[in-house]
Structure 1
Amino acid sequence: MSLLIAISLTTGILSGIWGWVAVSLGLLSWGGFLGCTTYFALQQDGIKGVGLSIATNLSGVFWAMVIIKLSTLINLEIVGYIITALVAFMMCAQAKKHWLNFIPGTFIGSCATFAAAGNWQLVIPSLIVGVIFGYLMKTTGIWLHAKLSPNYGQINN
Structure 2
Amino acid sequence: MTTTRIQLALNVDDIDEATTFYTRLFGVAPHKRRDGYANFVIADPPLKLVLIERPGAGGGLNHLGVEAQTPAQVDASLARFSEAGLPTRVARQDVCCNAEQHKVFVDAPDVPLGFWEFYAVTEDNPANPANPDGAPTSVCELTCAAGGDQTISCCG
TM-score (norm 1): 0.27
Name the structure with the higher helix share.
1
Query: RCO greater where, 1 or 2, for CA within 8 Å and sep 6 or more?
Result: 1
| TM-score, normalisation: structure 2 | 0.27
